[in-house]
Structure 1
Amino acid sequence: MSNESSGPNDQQYMEQDRILRVSDFKSFIYLFRFVKPFFHIYLAALLLLGVSSLTMMYSARVLGELVEDVLVAGIKTHAWSLVTMILFLESLAILSAWMGRRLMASGGSSSILDIRRAIFAHIHQLPISYYDRQPEGRTVTRMTHDIEGIEQFFSLSLGRILGASIIFVSSIAAMLITNWSIGLWVILSILPAVGMNLATKGRIRTINRDMSRFNSACNSKLSEYLGGLPLIRSFGLERWSTEKYQGNLNQHLTSVLRANSFYSWSRPLTNFLTYLPLLLLFFLGGKGILVGTFTIGPFVAFLRYCERFAHPIALLTREIHVIQQAFTSAERVTTFLSEQQEDDTLGPNGKLTTRLNGQVTFNNLSMGYNDQTPVLKGVSFKIGAGEKIGIVGRTGSGKTTTVALLSRLYPFQLGDILFDQTPIAQFKREALRDQIGMVSQEVVIFHGTLQENLLCGLHLKEGDLFQACQTSGLGRVMKEKELEFESEILEGGANLSAGQKQLVALTRVLIRQPAILVLDEATANIDPYYEGIIQDAVLRVMEGRTCLIIAHRLNTLNICDRIFVFSHGELVESGTTDELTKLDGYFSKLCALGL
């Protein structure tokens, strides 16, 4: 519906700019609010990982004592007790680490579930204008690919990284206590590996951003082509669509190959630098043993400390891709969750939930989807309760925008809309929309049963539902086609005809008993059999309701009390069919063209 001129590529880069503005730790700090409800789980996991780290360090010390006393000094009186102690400590360390990571994964899964819920709730709170300018596939990517990137970090990597970090700190303390001079040199020797990780962090972030961006573009294009598959098949556009999609795939493939090329040299180099502390330990420790300033027992313990000291850096090298992918995904999810909601674009939600009588007034209303292009210009009219209004005009004249504003789907810049002499802003949006029934040519049908598609969450007695179907004409079709309320309806109503879909839409609206009914030529492109049924159903549904009918055919106007004629966003004529015909103005020109 939006008339914005920015194309998909422009929107893609606009979104990328917004992502860059919320980068680094701000995005992850924002997402860590989903950790708070499960803080006790994370705390318990950290304590268990701490226990695992301490027992590892103490096990290394006992191993040093075993080597020093038994192998060097030949004292074997307490050898078995030391061996038993080592086995116990190592088992305790493994068990504690397993329990800690399990708890961390549990907390991570719970946090991810809350993030998914927050994103889904946010989808319902975004204004319609957001979906006008954003491809459907991009939103799907937020719910799938980006969430999976964060989930992998929370559920798997976070536990490993925190556990390794605790071991890293513990091993530093253990080495400095055992021999501060050798320990200091060993600690300093890890700096090249740390520097390498820090130096490549930005490049990895850029690589992951590119892969995520092109993956999102692929999903958007795929979603677009799946939606247009009937057109592609009927026009023989398979080769054209494949070539277009292949272009997106090539961009994504290029970004993946660029990432693999970068990792092919950066990871081996970082792994080599990670083992510098061990090489330095063998040199300094061996020299100390030769000159008598260092003994075998402490050297063995130091060797275990050093292995565990280097392990977190090696782990970081392996996990940095996951970490950076998580940061990239967090940036994109944060960007999505920070999108303006309806309250931001439409203003505060009203409080009135009163039943509408059906009187509608437009007071000098002007509206545009952007600041440059006005869609409606100073439109004013008044519709009485129960009045039937036909709306006609060429494509782009403002018909659809006018009826969309009734449900407060878009903001307007000037003027006001009143229901029963009350400004639209004072009504609660949900209550207002519940009283405005809209039936368009494009009927939305969900996968599920017929009853689920009719009720959409409402609770209605089966007798009342049956009566609504009889009134709308759907009951007649159900009997002829042997459809039942529990009959399965495929996605998009693939097993229903166009006429059957329209009857479902009419029944769905009738069940809600709206005060105002909006019809967008419900019988357009319908076969003659269903056209008659739908026309009769429309007349019954319209009884006692204010109706606005967007007409594309002349015979539709016969049931209207008045006709509004739109041209270039302005209401240029209004009156009965006879009045407008006598006027011989723009309406007559439209009639000559068949509307």
Structure 2
Amino acid sequence: MRFFTRLWPYILRYRFRMSVGLLALAAASGASIMAPYVLGRAVDGLREGVTRRELLFFAGLTIGIQTIDSGLRFVTRVFVSGSSRKIEYDLRNDVYAHIQSLDQKFFQDNQTGDLMARVSNDVTTIREILGPGLMDLCRSILLFVAGLAIMLTIDVKLALLAAMPLPLITLLFVWVGSVIEKRFHAVQTQFGGLTTFVQENFSGARVIKAYVQEENEAAAFEREAKAFEKANLAWARLSMALWPLLTVLIGISTVIVIYAGAMEVKSGAITLGQFVQFNSYIVLLSMPMVNLGWTLNMYQQAAASMERVEEVLSRRPAVTDAPGVRPLPEIRGGIGFEGVSFGYFNRPVLHDITLDVPAGSMLAIVGPTGTGKTTLVSLIARVYDVKAGRITIDGHDVRDVPLAQLHRAVAFVPQESFLFSATLEENVAWGGDVDPAHVQQAVDLAQLSNDLPQLPRGMQTMVGERGVSLSGGQKQRTAIARALAREAPILILDDALSHVDAYTEERILSGVRRYIAGRTAVIIAHRVSAVKWADQIVVLESGRIVERGTHDELVARDGPYAQLDRRQRLEEQLEDDGGDGVS
């Protein structure tokens, strides 16, 4: 019942089409039930001296019944199978949309390949029980009930003998059903793991080749595939065992009925035509009984898949809009941190952060790796919610700003630039209806224009999956251009210049400074040269602010920032001296 509880709204959405299909199925089943009756009458007619005209009538009637049966079953497939395809489409879209609405922690807890398997394979398995499975189940029940009722009117004893396998079949279904569901759940889980492995290896193909790990990864894939095969065989052995067991039970029942029926004909209890009719019903009902086993198998698969889909749909995002939240008339970009503390899995990362970033100013954040810089800027866009304190935008708690408005107001460039398998222009304009002039301006500001002549088709060049055809620096500059093209009031660069040289960095930052006039910028960087123009610089160590001020103020204090500045200037001087020596 849990299975249909989740699917019921989708079924109701197409209730008219489903109803038409099932009514056609009921009519087709009625036609099928008529065929043995006509055959029985024809056989009795032969004994009674039927005329040629009557034989032709019976033959024509049989052909007509079969034609009607086939036509109605076609209508059933069009409406029921068609509806199941529409339900599959709706469910897959809903699962995908729900996954997209979930917070960052969900994606940390779940593997990409497994999520892909749930959206694709599991939803398809659910569709199969609503299409072929539902049709076979309804037809089997209708034929069995109607056929058994007619058989009881012919001869009660023979009908009971024909129904003899039912208790054994019921026990078999009860015993096998739950085991099949568990085993198919294991199959789908293993398939998700296999998909994850393949996805990671294809994405990391460059690294695998660079470290000459093709053979090791091929062996690892073989192990994953073997585990999938093992899970599949465990399910298939039990699933396939149903067919011979059902066939044997039905076969034994049929032999008994034929013998007992022959004795009934011999004694005159029933006519030869009734005996033929009775056996025709047994043949007609044997397939529905076998189909019940097939449908049970399919249902258990669908139930296992529905459980996996339900695990996703029941997950609620940790970050949501508060009840009654209303959009702000305008976001200018002022950012405030008031006693903010945060951690992951009970591990503190930020401690009592208090900051004020006026609208239109630039904040720079520096500090060693792992001190919470990325976490700090992620809290601005509510990637996570703070554990203590609060963050404000223009004096309003970010939790009181609609998420959609907040995300539109923040243009974020992460450490790892992600590009889509599209053209360079589409990647820069991605995320909104961006004017071509703004796209070109963003490309110029990000210092990407000089690279365009080197690309096969300039801005129309396909960058490949995850930007595989571009260098690391080109990918970062494309990501920066994408953020600049949005013209959001807040720009966040999270170590987004790590793959460009100092000269290009200076030119990009010069463009960014022109771009952010009147906008708020938050820049995380490891090079002092990237942050010295900031209105405010904070130094983070172990999740705490240990220094803050302008570049000149921090250098004059001779603290951690000044030490970082001296070390980097010394490194640059040594590089210059080394270059002079070579020349």
Fold shared per TM-score above 0.5: yes
User: What letter corresponds to residue 577 of structure 1 in structure 2?
Assistant: H
Q: Distance in 2 between matches of 1:163 and 1:458?
A: 50
1:34 counterpart = 2:10: yes
Q: Distance in 2 between matches of 1:316 and 1:387?
A: 70
1:128 counterpart = 2:90: no
Aligned residue for 1:327, secondary structure, equals: helix
8 Å contact kept, 2:136–2:295: no
CA displacement at 1:154 relative to structure 2: 2.9
More divergent stretch after superposition (522-531 vs 334-343): 522-531
Q: What does the per-residue CA deviation read over 1:70-106, in whole Å, with 9 as the maximum and x for residues that have no partner?
A: 2x22232623222221221122112212221232111
Matches of residues 235-250 of structure 1 in structure 2 within 5 Å? 235-250=211-226
Q: What does the per-residue CA deviation read over 1:455-510, in whole Å, with 9 as the maximum and x for residues that have no partner?
A: 22522443443344344433444356575443333222222233332332222222
Q: Distance in 2 between matches of 1:166 and 1:266?
A: 22
Aligned residue for 1:340, secondary structure, equals: coil
User: What letter corresponds to residue 549 of structure 2 in structure 1?
Assistant: G
Matches of residues 140-179 of structure 1 in structure 2 within 5 Å? 140-179=116-155
Q: What does the per-residue CA deviation read over 1:516-568, in whole Å, with 9 as the maximum and x for residues that have no partner?
A: 11112332122467445433333333333211111111222212222212222
Name the residue aligned to 1:500.
474
CA displacement at 1:47 relative to structure 2: 0.6
Q: What does the per-residue CA deviation read over 1:272-306, in whole Å, with 9 as the maximum and x for residues that have no partner?
A: 11333322321321121122212111111111222
CA displacement at 1:406 relative to structure 2: 0.6
User: What letter corresponds to residue 171 of structure 1 in structure 2?
Assistant: G
Alignment RMSD (CA, Å): 2.4
1:331 counterpart = 2:307: yes
Q: Distance in 2 between matches of 1:74 and 1:222?
A: 72
8 Å contact kept, 2:364–2:522: yes
1:365 counterpart = 2:334: no
Q: Distance in 2 between matches of 1:587 and 1:195?
A: 76
1:351 counterpart = 2:351: no
Q: Distance in 2 between matches of 1:364 and 1:276?
A: 79
Q: Distance in 2 between matches of 1:588 and 1:476?
A: 35
Aligned residue for 1:331, secondary structure, equals: helix
Name the residue aligned to 2:550.
576
Q: Distance in 1 between matches of 2:397 and 2:294?
A: 60
8 Å contact kept, 1:368–1:413: yes
CA displacement at 1:166 relative to structure 2: 1.8
Q: Distance in 2 between matches of 1:546 and 1:536?
A: 15
8 Å contact kept, 1:502–1:534: no
1:284 counterpart = 2:260: yes
Name the residue aligned to 2:578.
none
Flag the 1:245–1:362 CA change in 2: closer, same or farther, 3 A.
same
- Choose from 280, 286, 294 the match for 1:318: 294
| Percent identical | 25
Name the residue aligned to 1:490.
464
Matches of residues 477-556 of structure 1 in structure 2 within 5 Å? 477-478=451-452, 481=455, 483-527=457-501, 530-556=504-530
More divergent stretch after superposition (179-188 vs 354-363): 179-188
Aligned residue for 2:487, secondary structure, equals: coil
Q: Distance in 2 between matches of 1:431 and 1:328?
A: 39
Aligned residue for 1:299, secondary structure, equals: helix
1:392 counterpart = 2:366: yes
Name the residue aligned to 1:432.
406
CA displacement at 1:271 relative to structure 2: 2.0
Matches of residues 578-593 of structure 1 in structure 2 within 5 Å? 578-588=552-562
Aligned residue for 2:411, secondary structure, equals: strand
- Choose from 446, 461, 479 the match for 2:420: 446
CA displacement at 1:112 relative to structure 2: 0.4
Aligned residue for 1:495, secondary structure, equals: coil
Name the residue aligned to 1:186.
162
8 Å contact kept, 2:42–2:55: yes
Q: What does the per-residue CA deviation read over 1:6-58, in whole Å, with 9 as the maximum and x for residues that have no partner?
A: xxxxxxxxxxxxxxxxxxx3134202322221111111111111111111112
CA displacement at 1:177 relative to structure 2: 2.7
More divergent stretch after superposition (455-464 vs 417-426): 455-464
Q: Distance in 2 between matches of 1:152 and 1:274?
A: 26
User: What letter corresponds to residue 20 of structure 2 in structure 1?
Assistant: A
TM-score, with structure 2 as normaliser: 0.91
CA displacement at 1:133 relative to structure 2: 1.9
Q: Distance in 2 between matches of 1:215 and 1:403?
A: 37
CA displacement at 1:423 relative to structure 2: 1.0
Q: Distance in 2 between matches of 1:410 and 1:580?
A: 31
Name the residue aligned to 1:227.
203
Q: Distance in 1 between matches of 2:431 and 2:499?
A: 29
Q: Distance in 1 between matches of 2:509 and 2:531?
A: 12
1:458 counterpart = 2:449: no
1:306 counterpart = 2:288: no
Aligned residue for 1:352, secondary structure, equals: coil
Q: Distance in 2 between matches of 1:590 and 1:563?
A: 13
CA displacement at 1:111 relative to structure 2: 0.7
Q: Distance in 1 between matches of 2:437 and 2:357?
A: 34
Aligned residue for 2:163, secondary structure, equals: helix
User: What letter corresponds to residue 80 of structure 1 in structure 2?
Assistant: L
Name the residue aligned to 2:270.
294
Flag the 1:343–1:522 CA change in 2: closer, same or farther, 3 A.
closer
CA displacement at 1:171 relative to structure 2: 1.2
8 Å contact kept, 1:193–1:274: no
Name the residue aligned to 1:375.
349
Aligned residue for 1:269, secondary structure, equals: helix
Q: Distance in 2 between matches of 1:265 and 1:163?
A: 23
CA displacement at 1:264 relative to structure 2: 5.4
User: What letter corresponds to residue 283 of structure 2 in structure 1?
Assistant: E
CA displacement at 1:347 relative to structure 2: 4.6
User: What letter corresponds to residue 130 of structure 2 in structure 1?
Assistant: F
1:558 counterpart = 2:536: no
Flag the 1:214–1:254 CA change in 2: closer, same or farther, 3 A.
same
CA displacement at 1:399 relative to structure 2: 0.6
Flag the 1:257–1:226 CA change in 2: closer, same or farther, 3 A.
same
8 Å contact kept, 2:381–2:406: yes
Q: Distance in 2 between matches of 1:335 and 1:349?
A: 28
1:95 counterpart = 2:88: no
User: What letter corresponds to residue 525 of structure 1 in structure 2?
Assistant: H
How many residues in Structure 1 have an aligned counterpart in Structure 2? 568
TM-score, with structure 1 as normaliser: 0.89
Flag the 1:461–1:265 CA change in 2: closer, same or farther, 3 A.
closer
Name the residue aligned to 1:274.
250
Aligned residue for 1:406, secondary structure, equals: coil
- Choose from 255, 259, 278 the match for 2:235: 259
Q: Distance in 1 between matches of 2:486 and 2:124?
A: 39
CA displacement at 1:199 relative to structure 2: 1.6
8 Å contact kept, 2:129–2:295: no
Q: Distance in 1 between matches of 2:434 and 2:525?
A: 32
Name the residue aligned to 2:20.
44
Aligned residue for 1:188, secondary structure, equals: coil
Q: Distance in 1 between matches of 2:369 and 2:92?
A: 39
8 Å contact kept, 2:447–2:504: no
Q: Distance in 1 between matches of 2:247 and 2:303?
A: 23
User: What letter corresponds to residue 539 of structure 2 in structure 1?
Assistant: V
Aligned residue for 1:236, secondary structure, equals: coil
CA displacement at 1:227 relative to structure 2: 2.5
